[in-house]
Amino acid sequence: MRSLHPASVAVRSLSRSLNTGFLFFVVGVVVSPGGNGIDLLSVFGLVAVGIVVGIVYEFAYYQRFRYDLTDDTFDVTSGVLARRDRELPLGRIQNVDIRQNVLGRVLGIAAVHIETAGGGQTEVSLEYVSEDEAHRLRRQLRRGASGGKPADDALEADDHTTASDAGPDETLLFEIRPRELVILSVFTIDPGASLLGGIALSFASGFDPATLLPGDRIGWLPGPETGPLVLVWGLLLFLLAAWVVSAVLTFTRYYGFRLTRADDELYYERGLLQRYSGTIPLEKVQALTISKSVPFRWFGYAALSVETAGYAPGQSDSRGTESAIPLADADRVNELARAIEPFGPVDLESPPRRARERYAIRYLLVVAAVVAIAALVARYTGFLGRWYLLAALAVLVPLAAHLKWTSRGYQVGDRYFLTRTGFWRRTTKVVPYYRVQAVLHQATIFQRRRNLASVTADTASSASLLGRAATAHDIDDQRGLELQADLEERLQERLRERKRQRTVGQWFREADDGDSSDEDPSPESNDDR
């Protein structure tokens, strides 16, 4: 059994002691007598106790954490107060990710996160092991997941392999260019940037928003007593701060992004302050997603995401599916996508025209609701005196409905099912038939009024769990039933074909093993001859 790196005690203690110290600080403030003010000595004493508790806990965690890699399983024993023994079958290991923050890179340690098929979160985390050990574990765990034998001698054979070794069989598929990284950073909006932007503004203003308003210093802008313009100015500052924070986060996240291929696996690495690296096993790819958001389409760029069974690499940090290519020229993206799944030319079939009428009615109802809400606000608050001008949004309804209709489509190919949807973020999904788990035919009450339906090819990908499966939206109801039967038939056909291929492959392997034994006969067999 192996143990974690000794430096993990210091790194984990730093995080743990901060948490426990803050908790004890809050407790000290709450229990401190209120008559004579806060007893600082008692509070800081409790904080010191919290820090010591955190350090002791992490030392005990280090002492009791053990792991071992066998021919069939990855065994982990952990727990301070309650012991926990886990055996992960190597065949169920889906992804092995390596993460390094700034402190970890200085100390030469890394965290290893192991995901299993069907799991939506990290199954096992090793925090922390040496950098070389992290890369050895990833190679051996992925070798075992692919049917190899990650024995101890194989681990020892890798002792002299450094973390930066690309390996003789690795091929560089993609490396982000500076221009692509800048465009990605400028036009990507990170959801968490709004909160961080607000926090940054609060600190910049000394928690007094009035200090950010130039009403008394710029003549053309009214003073703080003239509400609406001041509110707009504050909103603009907030959006600017959120945009800057979002650009910085995106830049640091995808800095140095590169994608390589070794045998039947893709390896990615990225990050400036915190370095991520992981694997995407091609044999477990469930679907490909090619996305083209509006700002990136202006520059002719697209992105590619790869979804694997039950887990999307990187989803544990709340960003969903990991990008195989975060941003690149559309031709490069299509080329790599076809290298992973050779789906051929894309020729989509559009929904019927009555679907466009449905979208127009839906948008008209939205405009009517906005106008009604504005009328109520004007009546009871006095704001929005000319609320009826919002009805002019109805002029945009036909255009919006047409754009939504032209952005949707589907294609039933020989080996793949393709769907497309979205205008602002147009996504094209490519699903191999043998990866389909179920085919769903759905028709809401509003769709049935126009004889429309939606057909979904559900896979084992985490995107399906989040409602982002490959769906042909608002197609003819009868066509939907035919499509459902067609997909199910093609699924069974592809499964039978893959079964035949595996049978033939196994037969050839057994024949090769028999030939090898004949080529190296033992002395006894020579005597028999």
pLDDT band at 239 (very low <50, low <70, confident <90, very high): confident
* d(C-alpha 221, C-alpha 237), whole Å: 15
Estimate the crossing angle of helix 178-187 against helix 227-254, to 10 degrees: 150
- The token duo for 426 is 């147009």
Which residues, other chains included, contact 225 with Cβ-Cβ below 8 Å and sequence gap of 6+?
Answer: none
pTM: 0.76
* d(C-alpha 479, C-alpha 487), whole Å: 12
Overall average pLDDT of the 517-523 stretch? 47
DSSP-derived secondary structure letter, 63:
H
Q: Is the CB of residue 310 less than 8 Å from the CB of residue 460?
A: yes
Q: Is the CB of residue 425 less than 8 Å from the CB of residue 404?
A: no
pLDDT band at 263 (very low <50, low <70, confident <90, very high): confident
pLDDT tens digits, 382-436: 777 788 888 999 999 999 999 999 999 999 998 999 999 999 999 999 999 988 8
- Number of Cβ within a 10 Å radius of residue 132: 17
CA nearest to 428, candidates 271, 252, 297, 247: 297
Residue 209 confidence (pLDDT) above 50: yes
- The more confidently predicted of residues 339 and 165 is 339
- The token duo for 429 is 């999904």
- Number of Cβ within a 10 Å radius of residue 125: 15
- Residue 417, classified by CB atoms within 10 Å of its CB into exposed (0-12), middle (13-18) or buried (19+), is buried
- The token duo for 243 is 């945009």
Measured in whole angstroms, the distance separating CA 161 from the mean position of its chain's CA atoms is: 29
pLDDT tens digits, 502-512: 776 667 666 66
* d(C-alpha 252, C-alpha 271), whole Å: 6
Residue 133 confidence (pLDDT) above 70: yes
* d(C-alpha 510, C-alpha 64), whole Å: 44
CA nearest to 114, candidates 98, 128, 101: 98
